[in-house]
Chain A
């Protein structure tokens, strides 16, 4: 199905199932521990052996000698695979560094060997017996130091409009400030894990992967084998946050280990390996310049961002939202990429906007302060309903102003004292902050297959993944709505490369695109049903398990009485995302209390008011948003991969050192979804919503800390050591 004109009224608009707060259909499996995650699939193939990965002990250099003899001779060991005996390997399109290093080492903890043994403990103990000698080379590990050598990255040109430099120079009120965000790790619960089994030249991988089809392609490319010989199965994923968009070393090393051992092999990364072996969100340095008239109209907007990556890598697109969020005739955005020899950077929890807004929305707060304006008023005054770089492109929907206004009402914004450091409750300094939330809505084609059986049961199959987001449920809701059956008549099967290729899970594009693909397949099935039942004339209705037209109603099941009816289709998009800018918006509000003595920052209240198209399942959407708000709090207050700038690795590589919020950090959270349908986005009229929840939260926290203490911290995370010297004397 080609979607190239705005959606008219369609069966989804009935909203009998879609749009209703619905418990996750996979909930009981999750809460009873019976959802089969990759590493626990003991049943799928017999004789599973265990692989343990050895990571490189240096960040950059070469292996000069490697002795695996002791490991090979260790109890239970079945095979040891290194670059020496792995055979020729390619590199996946989505990988920057090789998944198996040697002799060249590209980053710390890059896999250099996998040891396969009868038990996990044997494999791990044997891996520790491998002796590796390295010749260490000097690397670049410090973004600030490498910043001057950074260059414009391929496919990421500068953008702009008007004359930024001139307008900024002429602006009566100006802000020129530099911000930084640190490297961060995904730190999801489930580690990267894979079971690999060969059957002749055919390979099956039970793995944890957000993007099945990318995965198949990259495994094929890495192992130099045809895609059709590879099957990826990933029905349940214990969190990914972008860290599982790509095939990682667990999958490759399991496949290589299984080939060498002649047995199925399972491999999971250990927690300390996850931080340096896999991808992370790269650090940024961001310079923001805003010029405005004294009454607060922005005339010049400049945002430059520096980030680093391994050679061949990509920049963190932190200026993305600044092209689109606020008005202003004269504009500039630019990204510069430095070569760093740290582990590779890549997508994490709303790449681009999440770190970009952490800087931009402090800058907006600072500018409002300079102007003596309320920060909400300042944002409303500079709202735009068109793409400011291309004013002929309107937004499909844009309710940022409503998000901010409603949020202000609900949060009690008028109670905020605009003068920083003026509210004290006992030992606590209290403040409120606001930030705009913004995340683009991306359109990607997505296919699905729908089956109707003789009992009226419906089965949906697509290689779409559910990474804990609620995809199973919204897909079931979509099929139930389309075919007029109750939710419990729909079975959803996901995450298998034998199923039609979906959009996958990432960039908050999963919900809208995957359900639109299911919509397309259901439309086709409806036609097949109508034909089968002899409804030639007008389009029949599908409701209450029946198909009806012109007073004539037949049970849906009857259409499949002679055998299953199967329909497959794909949603494909025309140029509606070129003609219209499609984005999602939020107002994020935060109240913090800062311990006046120690500088410890504790959140008190958080509110997000979101406008993100039709909300397919308000319950799981809310869960997504509060989870994202929690991640935003983590980014603001604690998450930082600490770089050893001499040896080039993330030092705090476990969950004791890399802190993410715990329950005690997260106070009352409220989420409001504005009524919105966006017929330009898809037949579902929905947009992404999960990542919107993180975008802007960090800055709202930072702005609240400023309001509480008067201290403007521009370098994340905002830890107490950055406040300590500015806090009032203790009586």
Chain B
């Protein structure tokens, strides 16, 4: 860990302004991801701006009948919220499938969306990694890749985004609200928050320098059966090999997204249109263009089968 300075922001706009103005500044929320990375010098911020005290920790109903989730709402509180459990079950299920109780008590909504990959080579500063050190190369390729991505990856990086929560938010069509350094606000559809790596895997989101996430809003509930199936080697406290988030309507239509396979939650709207035709058709569209490694080729079959099981469960 490099020495750093620390301050508490006084308002969201203040946080954003400072983050843009101070070289090497980063926001810190729960710190469950950032601090680990700082200890390993994968992240080396010179200045931390604490955004915990800004009143962004509330869940409110929106005028449109949805929910606005403050960026600092803890994963535990979000999962337990009665409105979330009733109308957005897929979100609660995804949240409680993530990390551990202790971590979820601290982890925040924005921090979860912006957590970084779990590629093991990213975590070892002796190894080249384009995401950590642009242009240094990708050690994962040709190495140990069982956990890594099969979709949306590039020759520069095959890492995945590890969040469970984000996958559920993707099928819920959530919107990310932000404030920029100049005080202006904007709303980013969650589909547009995470970038694909291309040649620049170190650029992970479409947020601008200093831009602070203030909330995530969920549109009006759409009903349906909400399921989240996370597949992993042990029963708890492990990142997904793959996961399936699904909202299935009575008529068999609905939405699905995959986690653990791509640099962002993986949803293909065109594939969803096939849902009434059955899982195979959906999987074909969802997994089209997959570029697996020998180590993680199983994720294709696993995703197909898990999707089939989830849709069968929704029907039952």
Binding site for B on A (CB under 8 A): 57-58, 75, 121, 124-125, 128, 272, 427, 595, 597-600, 602, 637-638, 642-644, 646-647, 651-654, 656-657, 659, 661-665, 717, 719-721, 724-725, 727, 730-731
From A125, A598, A731, B231 is in contact (CB under 8 Å) with A598
Residues of A near B234 (CB, < 8 A) are: 637-638, 659, 661-662, 664-665
Chain B residue at minimal CB-CB distance from A652: B120
Shortest CB–CB separation between residue B89 and chain A, in angstroms? Answer: 19
Interchain CA distance A128-B3 in the complex, whole Å:
12
Q: Are B231 and A730 in contact (CB under 8 A)?
A: no
Q: Are A730 and B120 in contact (CB under 8 A)?
A: no
Q: Are A651 and B312 in contact (CB under 8 A)?
A: no
Q: Are A664 and B236 in contact (CB under 8 A)?
A: yes
Q: Are B232 and A600 in contact (CB under 8 A)?
A: yes
**CB within 8 Å for A644 and B302 given contacts A652-B120, A663-B236:** no
From A58, A75, A724, B301 is in contact (CB under 8 Å) with A724
Residues of A near B236 (CB, < 8 A) are: 662-665
Contact of B143 with A by CB under 8 A: yes
**CB within 8 Å for A121 and B142 given contacts A598-B306, A661-B234, A730-B305:** no
From B1, B124, B229, A651 is in contact (CB under 8 Å) with B124
**CB within 8 Å for A724 and B233 given contacts A642-B144, A730-B308, A730-B309:** no
Shortest CB–CB separation between residue B303 and chain A, in angstroms? Answer: 10
Binding site for A on B (CB under 8 A): 1-3, 39-41, 118, 120-121, 123-124, 126-127, 139, 142-144, 146, 229, 231-239, 241, 279, 298, 301-302, 305-306, 308-309, 312
Residues of A near B2 (CB, < 8 A) are: 125
From A57, A654, A720, B233 is in contact (CB under 8 Å) with A720
Q: Are B239 and A656 in contact (CB under 8 A)?
A: yes
Residues of A near B120 (CB, < 8 A) are: 642, 651-653, 657
Q: A598-B306, A656-B239, A717-B233 are in contact. List 20 more A-B contacts (CB 8 A).
A: A57-B126, A121-B1, A121-B3, A125-B1, A125-B2, A128-B41, A272-B123, A598-B231, A598-B302, A600-B232, A602-B235, A637-B233, A646-B142, A646-B143, A662-B235, A664-B237, A720-B302, A724-B301, A730-B305, A730-B308
Q: Are A721 and B302 in contact (CB under 8 A)?
A: yes
**CB within 8 Å for A653 and B124 given contacts A637-B233, A659-B238:** yes
From B1, B3, B231, A600 is in contact (CB under 8 Å) with B231
Shortest CB–CB separation between residue A716 and chain B, in angstroms? Answer: 12
**CB within 8 Å for A638 and B233 given contacts A125-B2, A721-B302, A731-B312:** yes
Q: Are A721 and B298 in contact (CB under 8 A)?
A: yes
Interchain CA distance A719-B242 in the complex, whole Å:
14
Shortest CB–CB separation between residue B35 and chain A, in angstroms? Answer: 12
Q: Are A598 and B144 in contact (CB under 8 A)?
A: no
14 A-B residue pairs with CB within 8 Å: A57-B126, A75-B3, A124-B1, A597-B305, A597-B306, A646-B143, A659-B233, A659-B238, A662-B235, A664-B235, A665-B234, A724-B305, A730-B312, A731-B312
Interchain CA distance A730-B3 in the complex, whole Å:
55
Q: Are B308 and A597 in contact (CB under 8 A)?
A: yes
Shortest CB–CB separation between residue B290 and chain A, in angstroms? Answer: 15
Q: Are B302 and A724 in contact (CB under 8 A)?
A: yes
Residues of A near B239 (CB, < 8 A) are: 656
Residues of B near A731 (CB, < 8 A) are: 312
From A602, A651, A661, B143 is in contact (CB under 8 Å) with A651
Shortest CB–CB separation between residue A641 and chain B, in angstroms? Answer: 10
Residues of A near B139 (CB, < 8 A) are: 644, 647
Interchain CA distance A647-B143 in the complex, whole Å:
9
Shortest CB–CB separation between residue A312 and chain B, in angstroms? Answer: 25
Shortest CB–CB separation between residue A374 and chain B, in angstroms? Answer: 30
Residues of A near B121 (CB, < 8 A) are: 651
Q: Are B298 and A724 in contact (CB under 8 A)?
A: yes
Residues of B near A58 (CB, < 8 A) are: 126
Q: Are B124 and A598 in contact (CB under 8 A)?
A: no
Chain B residue at minimal CB-CB distance from A56: B126
Shortest CB–CB separation between residue A268 and chain B, in angstroms? Answer: 13
By Cβ-Cβ distance, the 6 closest A-B pairs, closest first, are: A597-B309, A664-B235, A721-B298, A57-B126, A664-B236, A730-B308
A contacts with B: majority SS: loop
Q: Are A654 and B123 in contact (CB under 8 A)?
A: yes
Shortest CB–CB separation between residue B168 and chain A, in angstroms? Answer: 19
Chain A residue at minimal CB-CB distance from B118: A656
Interchain CA distance A719-B236 in the complex, whole Å:
15
Shortest CB–CB separation between residue A668 and chain B, in angstroms? Answer: 14
Shortest CB–CB separation between residue B76 and chain A, in angstroms? Answer: 18
Shortest CB–CB separation between residue B201 and chain A, in angstroms? Answer: 18
Q: Are A647 and B235 in contact (CB under 8 A)?
A: no
Residues of B near A272 (CB, < 8 A) are: 40, 123-124
Shortest CB–CB separation between residue A615 and chain B, in angstroms? Answer: 31
Residues of A near B39 (CB, < 8 A) are: 124
**CB within 8 Å for A651 and B144 given contacts A121-B1, A598-B231, A724-B301:** yes
Interchain CA distance A659-B233 in the complex, whole Å:
8
Interchain CA distance A663-B146 in the complex, whole Å:
24
Interchain CA distance A122-B302 in the complex, whole Å:
46
Q: Which of A595, A644, A661, A719 has the most CB of B within 10 A?
A: A644
Chain B residue at minimal CB-CB distance from A120: B1
**CB within 8 Å for A652 and B309 given contacts A638-B233, A663-B236:** no
Interchain CA distance A152-B188 in the complex, whole Å:
65
Residues of A near B233 (CB, < 8 A) are: 600, 637-638, 659, 717, 719-720
Interchain CA distance A600-B229 in the complex, whole Å:
12
Residues of B near A75 (CB, < 8 A) are: 3
Interchain CA distance A653-B124 in the complex, whole Å:
9
Interchain CA distance A427-B316 in the complex, whole Å:
12
**CB within 8 Å for A598 and B309 given contacts A647-B127, A657-B120, A720-B233:** yes
Residues of B near A121 (CB, < 8 A) are: 1, 3
Interchain CA distance A724-B143 in the complex, whole Å:
22
Shortest CB–CB separation between residue A363 and chain B, in angstroms? Answer: 25
Interchain CA distance A659-B236 in the complex, whole Å:
10
Residues of A near B308 (CB, < 8 A) are: 597, 730
Residues of B near A125 (CB, < 8 A) are: 1-3
Residues of B near A662 (CB, < 8 A) are: 234-237
Interchain CA distance A375-B215 in the complex, whole Å:
60
Residues of B near A657 (CB, < 8 A) are: 118, 120, 123
Shortest CB–CB separation between residue A109 and chain B, in angstroms? Answer: 9
From B143, B229, B231, B301, A644 is in contact (CB under 8 Å) with B143
Q: Which of A637, A638, A662, A730 has the most CB of B within 10 A?
A: A730
Shortest CB–CB separation between residue A653 and chain B, in angstroms? Answer: 7
Shortest CB–CB separation between residue A590 and chain B, in angstroms? Answer: 15
Residues of B near A599 (CB, < 8 A) are: 302
Shortest CB–CB separation between residue B181 and chain A, in angstroms? Answer: 30
From B3, B301, B302, B309, A427 is in contact (CB under 8 Å) with B309
Shortest CB–CB separation between residue A701 and chain B, in angstroms? Answer: 13
Shortest CB–CB separation between residue A239 and chain B, in angstroms? Answer: 18
Chain B residue at minimal CB-CB distance from A128: B41
Interchain CA distance A602-B236 in the complex, whole Å:
11
Residues of A near B309 (CB, < 8 A) are: 427, 595, 597-598, 730
Chain B residue at minimal CB-CB distance from A663: B236
Q: Are A665 and B143 in contact (CB under 8 A)?
A: no
Q: Are A665 and B1 in contact (CB under 8 A)?
A: no
Interchain CA distance A637-B238 in the complex, whole Å:
14
Interchain CA distance A643-B295 in the complex, whole Å:
13
Residues of B near A653 (CB, < 8 A) are: 120, 124
Q: Which of B124, B279, B301 has the most CB of A within 10 A?
A: B124
Residues of B near A727 (CB, < 8 A) are: 305
Interchain CA distance A272-B229 in the complex, whole Å:
30
Interchain CA distance A272-B42 in the complex, whole Å:
14
Chain A residue at minimal CB-CB distance from B241: A720
Chain A residue at minimal CB-CB distance from B306: A598
